[in-house]
């Protein structure tokens, strides 16, 4: 638009012809853009009160040493190493029992605490293949070796695919469910407890607790504000303590009188 002297009013304000392209309509559009507090010009929508709308707020990550990969995967590593050691001991005890069926094992304390009684049950050799049965401890060695490798990857801060992290959690859950099945079979069906098996169960429990923590805090799976709040407010510590105390209480209530007889 070319302005002439006739377009300028006596008070110095430029008059705009409504019929000209880009005239009053363009000015009105500019004014409406300036009056809209919710448009930042970059596509981000803002609320009238304070900043970005809730739908556009990114999830708040868990911060602090307790939620980092160093601590969470370190606990997974320690629990997995403990479970691996116990699995080796159980494997050795199984071979010892096979060589000397009539000889008592070192963990045969009494009728309630007896590794031999548990090892001679069918539950101790659940997997059968090719006409042979395989002691559970052998699979424990393989499984815990995998968890140790995963813990080392986490400590090294190596990024893993989402599917891998999900499969890792389900693997930890399967190990926990298997150990608890063996525990309930020993307590309520076989009628004897294996001290090494109890150690393996508690190690697997701590391993699962830490693996779940790492999956949420480090891997961000699932993307749940509720779970992040659960760990941020340290509810997990309370639940973990109650969990361990409940297991110990169950053992004492069921067989406390015979544990030290």
pTM score, two decimals?
0.75
Mind listing the domains of the chain with CATH numbers?
22-57 (no CATH), 65-259 (1.20.1440.130)
Q: What is the Cα Rg of the chain in Å?
A: 33
- Tens-digit pLDDT profile for residues 51-77: 444 444 556 678 889 999 999 999 999
- For the chain, the average pLDDT equals 82
Rounded Cα gap, residues 112 and 195, in angstroms = 10
Q: Each residue of 17-55: pLDDT tens digit?
A: 544 444 444 444 444 444 444 444 444 444 444 444 444
What is the spatial distance between Cα 10 and Cα 80, in angstroms, rounded to a whole number?
87
**pLDDT number for residue 45:** 44
Give the per-residue pLDDT at 261: 66
Which residue in 18, 15, 103 sits closest to 95, CA to CA? 103
DSSP string, 188-218: III--B-HHHHHHHHHHHHHHHHHHHHHHHT
């Amino acid at each position: 638009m070319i302005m002439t002297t006739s377009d300028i009013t006596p008070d110095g304000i430029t008059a705009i012809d409504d019929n000209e392209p880009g005239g009053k309509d363009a000015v009105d559009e500019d004014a409406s853009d300036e009056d809209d507090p919710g448009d930042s010009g970059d596509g981000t929508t803002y609320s009238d009160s304070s900043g970005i709308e809730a739908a556009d707020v990114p999830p708040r990550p868990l911060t602090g040493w307790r939620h980092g990969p160093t601590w969470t995967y370190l606990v997974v590593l320690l629990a997995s190493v403990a479970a691996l050691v116990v699995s080796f001991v159980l494997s050795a005890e199984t071979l010892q029992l096979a060589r000397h069926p009539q000889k008592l094992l070192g963990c045969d304390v009494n009728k309630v605490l007896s590794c031999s009684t548990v090892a001679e049950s069918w539950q101790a050799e659940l997997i059968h293949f090719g006409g042979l049965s395989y002691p559970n401890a052998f699979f424990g060695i393989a499984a815990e070796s995998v968890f140790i490798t995963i813990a080392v990857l986490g400590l090294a801060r190596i990024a893993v695919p989402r599917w891998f992290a999900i499969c890792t959690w389900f693997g930890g859950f399967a190990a926990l469910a298997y150990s608890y099945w063996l525990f309930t079979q020993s307590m309520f069906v076989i009628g004897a407890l294996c001290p090494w098996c109890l150690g393996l169960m508690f190690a697997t429990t701590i391993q699962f607790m830490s693996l779940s923590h790492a999956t949420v805090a480090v891997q961000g799976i699932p993307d749940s504000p509720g779970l992040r709040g659960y760990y941020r407010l340290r509810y997990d510590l309370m639940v973990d303590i109650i969990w361990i105390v409940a297991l110990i209480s169950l053992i004492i209530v069921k067989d406390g009188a015979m544990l030290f007889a």
